[in-house]
Amino acid sequence: MLFNSIPYLLFFLVVFWTFWALVRRPGAQRWLLLAASLFFYGFWNPAYLSLILGVTAVTWVCAARTRTDPARRRLYLTLGVGASLAVLAVFKYTGFALSSFEMLLGLFDASLPFSFAFARKIVLPVGISFYTFQSLSYLVDVYRGDLQPEPSPVRYALYVSFFPQLVAGPIVRATDFLPQLDAPRALTDDQAARGLSLIAIGLFKKIVIADYLAINLVDRVFDTPEMMSSPETLAGIYGYTLQIFCDFSAYSDIAIGSALLLGFTLPENFRAPFLAQNLSDFWRRWHISLSTWLRDYLYIPLGGSRCPAWRTQVNLGITMLLGGLWHGPAWTFVFWGFLHGAGLIVMRAVGWHRPATSWPSRILRTLATFHFVVFAFVFFRAGTFSGAVTVLRRAVDGPGGLMNLPWTVLLVLAVGFGLHGFPRAFTDRGVALFARLWSPAQAVLILAFAFFLQKVASTDVVPFIYFQF
C-alpha cells in the first residue's frame, strides 16, 4: 500500500474518520491505530507480521527485564539486541554474506560443495531496517535509564508499528512518541492545514519531480550508460541526486503530514541538505533521524570525538561503513558509506568542520560538498562497481550533444533544485493562509491539486526508493 496510491487514500480516510469519532475513548483510539498499522504492514505480505510482532515482543520483554532484574540487565540487553539484529541479518544480509564468501573462495579457485540457492530466494520484509532500529533505540534507552519501561504492550507495539512512518521512517524515538499517547487528542485548523500541506508537498515531490526524472532520465542513463552522451549522463547523475532527495523526503513529508492529521508529531527528517557547507553539516540535514541514531547509538558509544584524533577518525569510518551497509546488502552501498567516512575524515583534517568565515568560502564549501555527494550517489544508484565506473567515465569522455534531453526534463531539474532551498518562512505563510481559507475553498484547492497530479502522474504507481532498505 503506497502513499501515492488510491488504496492508501481510502485506507487513511477510514482510519482518520474512525479515529476522531473515538476522540473521547483514547484506549479505543490506540487499539484502532495498532490494528490499522498491522493491517497496513500486512497488506504487503501477512506472513511478515510475525517478524514485526516478534521483534516487538522480544525488545519489550528484554527492556523490562533490564530494570526488574539488575543482576542480569546486561544479559537481557544482549539478548534483545542480538535477537533483533539476527532477524535483520537473516532476512537482509544472508544472501549478501554468502555471495561475498563465494566470491572470496573464487579468488583461490575454490568453491562450496553445496548450493545456497535458498538464501537468494529470501524476500526482504518491507521496513525491517526502520522498525528494528526503533525497537533497538527503545531497548538501549531503557537500559541506560533514559526511559522508563513501557508497561503496556499495546502502547509499545503501536510505537514500533505506527503506520505513517513504519516503512521508511523517520526513525522515531520512544522518548518522543510514547508521551504523545497520553496527550489530549485535538486537531486544530493550523495542524490540519500543515498536515494537508505536507502531504501535498510530498506528493508533488514524488510524482512531479522524482517519478518524472526516474522514468524520463535517470533510469535510462544508469541502465544503458554506453548509449548516452556526456551531457545526458551528467544530467542523469545530477537527476538521481535530485530524484532520491525528492523521493525520500516526499515519503517523510507524507508520513509527518499523515501523523499530524492524527494528532501526532514526528521529527523532521530533511533540512535542505544540498545547501550544506561540509559533510558533517550534510548529515545534520539528510535523513536526520538515521544520522542522529547512528551518532547516539554507534558513534558516541565507540568513543565519538572524546578520544585521541586517530581514534575519532576510526569511529567516523566505522559509523559510516555500517551506515552504508544499513542501506542495503551490496558492496556499492558499503563503498558509498566508505566515501562519506573518508570525506568526513579529510574534512576534519583540513578544518572544514568549522564554520566558514566569509561568503566566498561558504559558497566554495557548499559547491564542493554538493558535488562530493553527487559523486558518491553514483555508487549508491549503480547496481555494480563496473556500472558506476561506466557512468562516471561516460560523463567525462562521452560524445557531446543533448540528444535525449527534452526541455521538460531540464525544466524539472531546474524547478527541483530551485525549490530545494526555498525559504521555510514562505512555506509557513502559505500554510497559514490555507488554514484561514473557508472550508469549501480549501476543498476546491485540494481537488484541483489532485486533478493536477492525476494529469502529470505516470501510468504506473512508482514505489518509493527507500522501501528496499
The burial class, CB within 10 Å (0-12 / 13-18 / 19+), for 301 is: exposed
Task: Please confirm, yes or no, whether 340 is among the known catalytic residues.
Answer: no
Q: If DSSP codes are grouped into helix, strand and coil, which group holds residue 172?
A: coil
Cell numbers standing for residue 110 = 575454490
**Which residue blocks in 69-180 are alpha helix, DSSP H?**
73-107, 128-144, 153-161, 163-166, 174-177
Say if CB 163 and CB 115 are below 8 A apart.
no
CA distance 130 to 327: 10
Cell numbers standing for residue 30 = 490506540
Cell numbers standing for residue 362 = 561558504
Q: If DSSP codes are grouped into helix, strand and coil, which group holds residue 181?
A: helix
Taking alpha carbons only, the member of 335, 149, 282 closest to residue 290 is 282
CA distance 232 to 139: 48
For the chain, give the number of residues: 469
- The answer, yes or no, to whether the previous bond of 406 is cis (omega within 30 of 0) is no
Write down the residue that cell numbers 555508487 correspond to: 379
CA distance 136 to 417: 36
CA distance 344 to 323: 13
The active-site residue, picked from 287, 327, 340, 420, is 327
Measured CA angle at 327 (ends 100, 254), to 5 deg: 155
Annotated active-site positions, please?
327
